Amino acid sequence: MTRHALRLGMAGGGEGAFIGAIHQRAAALDGDWRLVAGAFSTDAARSARSGEQLGLDRNRVYSSFDAMIAGERTLPEGERIDALAIVTPNHLHAPMAIAALEAGFHVFCEKPMAMSAAEGRAIADAARASGRHFALAFTYSGYPLVEEARIRVARGDLGAIRLVQVEYLQGWLSLPIDTGGNKQAEWRTDPTRAGLGGCLGDIGTHAFQLAEHVSGLRVRSVSADLATHVPGRRLDDDVSALLRFDGGARGVLKASQVAAGEENGLKLRVHGERGGLEWSQMEPNTLTLRWLDRPAELVRAGGPGLDSGAAALLRTPAGHPEGYIEAFANLYRAFAATIRAGDGLWYPGVADGLRTMSFIEAVIINAASEVKWTDVDQGESE
């Protein structure tokens, strides 16, 4: 039986955008998705040009998001989009996601989930009421060796987890390029479009999600410091947080976009009572394991000793890079499997989104107060 590609629409991601092109390539990698429609810009002419460059039917390239939702709903079920990818600035995530879910479309959304935890809960309610699926682009959890790390922690290889250290260092905002015409920097440092956190929301959420995902533990409370190093900038560009996890584990999270000279330095270390592991996004094919009672090990993508669950995420032969787009594609593939079967492979979704929104708010509350520790809302799991 021939498996047809699911139909994808896109909000945002037009010419000059960065992440939209990544979504387009990742979604197409396995043949699970075909981009058929979009409202790529609030500028109708720019949206039209973007659709033309992508080779789309001009009748499926819309002048606005509302026009796309209305237009797609009028099409027969076998022609309209199955899901919408939202690749806009943060302030549009919640209204677009809710509208799409209520219209009967699945949603794959850029992170952070929303502008606030309240908006995140509204998305969760809409997904539950609609029966549609909601995915979030926490891309790094799609890497094969991140899955290997998660599996090894979950099966107890390291023993009881004691320490979790995660850092995400970038340097691209070290100078005030947000006031010099850089569009990517402009909206990320604008509270009306980015939300409560700058660096915190943009990359701090990636670090937090990765730490919880691999450790299998939930952060209970935070003690945090937010800094804005560039004069005049309206949101944080540097984050430091101590973390207290379930079961007594302790953690440290560092995220910065003013670490001059850094590119995309996401690193994770997890230590248990018997050993520890380390993974770096810029060397993603290697997982380092260190032990109390034997020499250190290097686990390589495609090499011996890899769990079958991690091996299933591999795209290339051993010794070839497993990259960012491949990790992204793993999330799109899992999302497609879930839509087709109702219960497929894991991907980051509503639960991850709500956790990261609670983390953002706890860090901001704590950093602005004299209280030493602030609880992270545990939501419905309590």
Of 248, 267, 271, the residue nearest 166 (C-alpha)? 267
Cβ atoms within 10 A of the Cβ of 339, count? 18
Task: Identify whether the C-beta of residue 252 lies closer than 8 Å to the C-beta of residue 242.
Answer: yes
Counting Cβ atoms within 10 Å, is residue 122 exposed (0-12), middle (13-18) or buried (19+)? middle
For residue 381, pLDDT over 70 is answered with no
Model confidence pLDDT, tens digit, residues 127-136: 999 999 999 9
Tokens 């009672």 label which residue?
A: 293
pLDDT (average), residues 319-346 = 92
Q: Is the pTM of this model over 0.85?
A: yes
d(Cα 336, Cα 6) in Å, to the nearest integer? 7
pLDDT (average), residues 359-365 = 98
Model confidence pLDDT, tens digit, residues 199-254: 999 999 999 999 999 999 999 999 999 999 999 999 999 999 999 999 999 999 99
Which residues lie closer than 8 Å to 326 by C-beta, 6 or more apart?
A: 26, 29, 142, 315, 316
Could you give the percent of the chain with pLDDT greater than 90?
Answer: 94
- Residue 194: what pLDDT? 98
- In the chain, % helix, strand, coil (3-state, to 5) comes to 40, 25, 40
- Residue 155: what pLDDT? 97
Three-state DSSP class for residue 44: helix
Model confidence pLDDT, tens digit, residues 248-299: 999 999 999 999 999 999 999 999 999 999 999 999 999 999 999 999 999 9
End-to-end, the C-alpha distance of the chain in Å comes to: 44
- Rg value, the chain, Cα: 21
- Residue 380: what pLDDT? 58
Give the residues across from 106 on adjacent strands: 83
